[in-house]
């Protein structure tokens, strides 16, 4: 691993008795505790990390922020908020390491463009970015509103559209355009979520297209512990191997270390 290698996408769940899940949720995960993640991180030589608020907690960021406190200065966090949050609450989250807001647009009933714009205005003074779980086939209609926020945009999991359709999809092309012009970043993560092949070989054309569009706009995430996914995962070790195979050693090192240092402020 390069110095400062960062896992830019993982979650902590539980203990459920202490951190109750939102009544309206798409799935109920088993506990995935911080000590287990720390062991996972150490075994792979990952020195930095970015914890992402999962949808099952809704707007209650307590589990994510408490884990962020425990991880210390080598960690950053992505939270979920709405426009009712106060400046003081944002400032307190920033002090604890939060650097972005996540929006789940994968399912009907998610936040609309107006709410995204209002939240963007609230977090703008803190230098945060906006992260999206979205099927990028739906991106062309939303792209103008996202660009209008003027904040950095981060797309999860290759844009979360089927690998078999991505290269011909207007939405994937739209994401590539946003990466090229410096509006957006993309996470090389969750390949098994969009792949039809056991070790995500069909994601290689997507990875190469992303690397051509903006090699300095890509980061990597393990998606540990792979929540809400029923099928067997090839696991993060296979996906790390694919990263080095697809990108080569120099670019893989940038994706693992230099790029996340800029996006998440580890250079501060």
- By annotation, the residues acting in catalysis are 223
81: left (phi over 0), alpha (psi -120 to 50) or beta: beta
Angle at 173 between CA 168 and CA 174, to 5 degrees: 140
Element at 132 (helix H, strand E): strand 129-133
Sequence-separated (6 or more) residues with CB below 8 Å from residue 88:
none
Q: How far is CA 231 from the centre of its chain?
A: 20
Residue 133 — φ and ψ, nearest 5°?
-95, 105
**Cβ pair 219, 188 in contact under 8 A:** yes
Residue with tokens 């990263």: 243
Sequence-separated (6 or more) residues with CB below 8 Å from residue 11:
32, 51, 52, 53, 54, 64, 224, 225, 227
Q: How far is CA 113 from the centre of its chain?
A: 19
| Cβ neighbours, 10 Å, residue 156 | 25
Q: What is the DSSP letter of 153?
A: E
Query: CA-based diameter of the chain, in Å?
Result: 47
DSSP bridge pairs for 218 = 186
Chain length of the chain: 268
């Amino acid at each position: 691993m390069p110095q400062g290698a960062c896992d830019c996408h993982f979650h902590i769940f539980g203990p459920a008795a202490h951190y109750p899940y939102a009544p309206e949720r798409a799935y109920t995960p088993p506990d995935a505790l911080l000590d287990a993640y720390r062991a996972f991180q150490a075994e792979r030589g990952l020195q930095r990390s970015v914890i992402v608020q999962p949808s099952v907690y809704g707007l209650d960021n307590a589990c994510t922020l408490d884990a962020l406190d425990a991880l210390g200065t080598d960690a950053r966090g992505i939270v979920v908020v709405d426009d009712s949050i106060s400046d003081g609450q944002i400032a307190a989250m920033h002090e604890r390491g939060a650097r972005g807001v996540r929006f789940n647009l994968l399912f009907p009933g998610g936040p609309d463009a107006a709410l995204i714009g209002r939240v963007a205005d609230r977090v703008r003074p803190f230098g945060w970015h906006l992260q999206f779980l979205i099927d990028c086939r739906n991106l062309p209609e939303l792209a103008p509103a996202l660009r209008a926020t003027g904040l950095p945009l981060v797309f999860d999991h290759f844009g979360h559209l089927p690998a078999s359709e991505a290269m011909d999809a207007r939405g994937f092309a739209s994401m590539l355009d946003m990466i090229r012009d410096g509006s957006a970043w993309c996470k090389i993560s969750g390949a098994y979520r969009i792949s039809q092949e056991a070790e995500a070989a069909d994601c290689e054309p997507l990875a190469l297209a992303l690397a051509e569009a903006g090699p300095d706009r890509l980061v990597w995430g393990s998606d540990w512990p792979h929540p809400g996914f029923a099928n067997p995962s090839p696991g993060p070790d296979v996906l790390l191997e694919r990263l080095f195979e697809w990108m080569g050693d120099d670019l893989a090192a940038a994706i693992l270390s230099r790029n996340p240092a800029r996006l998440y402020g580890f250079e501060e």
